[in-house]
A and B are shown apart, each in its own frame.
Chain A
Amino acid sequence: MTAVTPVRLEPDRADTRRARLGRARRGRHASRAAWLLLAPFLAGFVLFYLIPIVVALVKSFTTVKRTSTYGAARDVFAGLGNYTAALTDSGFTGSLGRVLLFGVIQIPVMLGLALALALALDSAVVRLRRFFRLAFFLPYAVPGVIAAVMWGFFYAPNLSPINQLLEPLGLRPDLLSGNVILYSIANIVTWTFTGYNMLILYSSLQAIPPQLYEAARLDGASGWAIAWRIKVPIIAPSLVLTAVFSIIGTFQLFTEPQVMAGVSTSVSSTYTPSMAAYAQISAQNYGLGAAMSVIVTIVIGLLSLIFFRVTRNRAAL
């Protein structure tokens, strides 16, 4: 056995000079290591997020001027011109109102459904859990474009099983027509994302220590009371999170209506704000498209902020 000379390590907490220097040196090394680890991501983030945002902002204040009809195009400073143009464009403002209406209806429905399913799954027989968890989550594995294409077929009057089932009753709904199409699109989004939100809520439910239920049961609480009074308040932060993600997603809505525009005449090219921005960009009105995107981003930011404020007071945990 070799004799080991014990090394006296000075505890970090000692306020000796050596300990302080050691802490500082380690602190500097740690910072350097941290920045090195951050560097690759940050480089890409700056390149693909920050710079484009700045470019978009700058572009939103410019417009294209041509010296003559076929002359060279120049970017000209246009002040708030693009913004006023966007905010006075009935197509664009209409699209903002539309996604707001969409969000007010679709998000509570979807999250309510996700919550109900998460609660049901949490109290379900264990054997069935895995199957249902997969079944509910499956739509999320379907790419949004494919889901929209699929539902587009599903809604098409001549192909739809819904129509086939309802026809003997004399009903002939056109799920792609003007009045209904918004709800049809809402259905696609709900179908796609409920499972994803449910999984987030379900995971939070699973993390609740069972002792809480024991105590409640001892006090005579029923299953429903437990669900409503204990489980839901505890997972309130997860609900807030899913709600914020949903708000962000709703205002960025693009893929599903874009696909629907191909199969339904009721979907204009400015149906949602993102589509309106995309339409301008496709027409090479980069300034106007950028301004629209900035407006949408600001709206999303404001709504998220408001939502956080409101729920922070409610979910005082």
Chain B
Amino acid sequence: MTTHAPTPSRRAREARLSIVPTAAMFVAGVYFLLPVFWLVVSSTKSAADLSSTFGLWFSDNQLGHNLDRTFAYGDGVYLRWLANSALYSIVGAAAATLLSAMAGYALAKFTFRGRNATFSTILAGVLVPPTALAVPLFLMLAGAGLTNSIWSVLLPSMISPFGVYLARVYAAASVPDELLEAGRIDGAGDLRVFFTISLRLMAPALVTVFLFQFVAIWNNFLLPLIMLTSDRLYPVTLGLYTLNTQITRDPDLKTIVVTGSLLSIIPLILAFLALQRFWRTGLAAGSVKD
């Protein structure tokens, strides 16, 4: 926090000055929150009311009815979609975090031949458009008979070059070199030092890596789109997308898409709220206190 003790006159000047930024923030707040608010309102409306009543305020509350229809659709496939998203995101992000932590730590704390070249190659991986990777990945996994399975989504999700970048920053910031030295003098292997001590030191920052990878996997659209054909394996993003494309044929699906969308946002929002304390965005690791 940029805390400093202003004199009374300075404080008064700051209070006056801050009306413009505060007003701007309110306007921005409305802009960012309005569509979500609209989504909440729309989830409570019947299909007919969606088009006939004012979009930004409630009318006849049909939320219970909409929820029933959403969960009942397709033999409860919606809940299946949510479960799939949870599986892919939690397992994928956890594995990605561990792998990234190990790799980032190695790149930050050790000097070895080929270190910079390796890191540069990993970073370059961020540049590659997913469309370039998707088809060869598909062909490779098809050859191994793994397409249309949870592995086709899980395995690629465990590799996060950006996570390695973040982990490297965190390792450099939170694990002192003296620790490794001390460990070596005491005869503890470097690996042991990592798993017993360093990992724990990096843990708060690694939550950010987990969170970002969780979001990335939850939001991932192209990978499941290409890999999965059975709708019982779809994550909720792909499921709702498929439903949305059928709306022109079946307008009744509108309320399901709207309600389903609202439900699908909630887990991510809850995750962010719950893990607020651990947000770091990597560039100011160790120096952000809030």
| A residues in contact (CB < 8 Å) with B | 9, 26, 29-31, 33-38, 40-42, 44-45, 47-53, 55-56, 59, 113, 116-117, 119-126, 128-130, 132, 134-147, 149-154, 158-161, 164, 191, 194-195, 199-200, 203-208, 210, 213-214, 217, 223, 237-238, 241, 248, 251-252, 254-255, 258-259, 262-263, 274, 277-278, 281, 286, 289-290, 293-294, 296-297, 300-301, 304
The smallest C-beta distance from B56 to any residue of chain A, in angstroms, reads: 5
Return chain B residues, CB-CB under 8 Å to A124: 18, 21-22, 25
A297 and B128 form a contact (CB under 8 A): yes
User: Is B196 positioned at the interface, with any CB of A under 8 Å from its CB?
Assistant: no
6 sampled A-B residue pairs with Cβ under 8 A = A41-B159, A55-B136, A141-B272, A143-B268, A149-B257, A213-B4
CA distance A105 to B137 in the complex (A): 33
The smallest C-beta distance from A216 to any residue of chain B, in angstroms, reads: 12
B125 and A37 form a contact (CB under 8 A): no
Q: A116-B24, A241-B283 are in contact. Are A278 and B131 (CB under 8 A)?
A: yes
Q: A149-B244, A297-B127 are in contact. Are A123 and B21 (CB under 8 A)?
A: yes
The smallest C-beta distance from B203 to any residue of chain A, in angstroms, reads: 16
Which 6 pairs from chain A and chain B are nearest by CB?
A161-B55, A293-B132, A33-B190, A120-B21, A52-B136, A55-B136
Residue of B whose beta carbon sits closest to that of A206: B288
Q: A37-B194, A44-B155, A161-B55 are in contact. Are A238 and B35 (CB under 8 A)?
A: no
B221 and A144 form a contact (CB under 8 A): yes
B105 and A37 form a contact (CB under 8 A): yes
Residue of B whose beta carbon sits closest to that of A205: B2
The smallest C-beta distance from A174 to any residue of chain B, in angstroms, reads: 16
Taking A35-B112, A258-B221 as given, write out 9 further A-B residue pairs in contact, using a Cβ cutoff of 8 Å, ordered by the A residue number. Answer: A29-B190, A45-B122, A142-B268, A160-B55, A200-B281, A252-B130, A254-B222, A255-B221, A304-B127
Among the listed B125, B240, B254, B284, which residue makes an inter-chain contact with A203, where contact means beta carbons less than 8 Å apart? Answer: B284
Which one of B61-69, B70-78, B95-103 is at the interface? B95-103
Return chain A residues, CB-CB under 8 Å to B36: 138-139, 142, 150
CA distance A73 to B283 in the complex (A): 51
Which of B1, B3, B132 has the most C-beta atoms of chain A within 10 angstroms of its own C-beta? B132
Q: A143-B219, A145-B221, A146-B237 are in contact. Are A33 and B110 (CB under 8 A)?
A: yes
The smallest C-beta distance from A85 to any residue of chain B, in angstroms, reads: 17
A113 and B132 form a contact (CB under 8 A): no
Among the listed B155, B245, B276, which residue makes an inter-chain contact with A48, where contact means beta carbons less than 8 Å apart? Answer: B155
A45 and B35 form a contact (CB under 8 A): no
> In chain B between 233 and 251, which residues have their CB closer than 8 angstroms to a CB of chain A?
236-238, 240-241, 244-245, 247
A164 and B55 form a contact (CB under 8 A): yes
The smallest C-beta distance from B210 to any residue of chain A, in angstroms, reads: 14
The smallest C-beta distance from B152 to any residue of chain A, in angstroms, reads: 11
The smallest C-beta distance from B14 to any residue of chain A, in angstroms, reads: 7
Which of B103, B222, B282 has the most C-beta atoms of chain A within 10 angstroms of its own C-beta? B103
Return chain B residues, CB-CB under 8 Å to A154: 35, 38, 55
Residue of B whose beta carbon sits closest to that of A152: B244
B29 and A132 form a contact (CB under 8 A): yes
Q: A158-B51, A251-B129 are in contact. Are A195 and B25 (CB under 8 A)?
A: no
The smallest C-beta distance from A284 to any residue of chain B, in angstroms, reads: 10
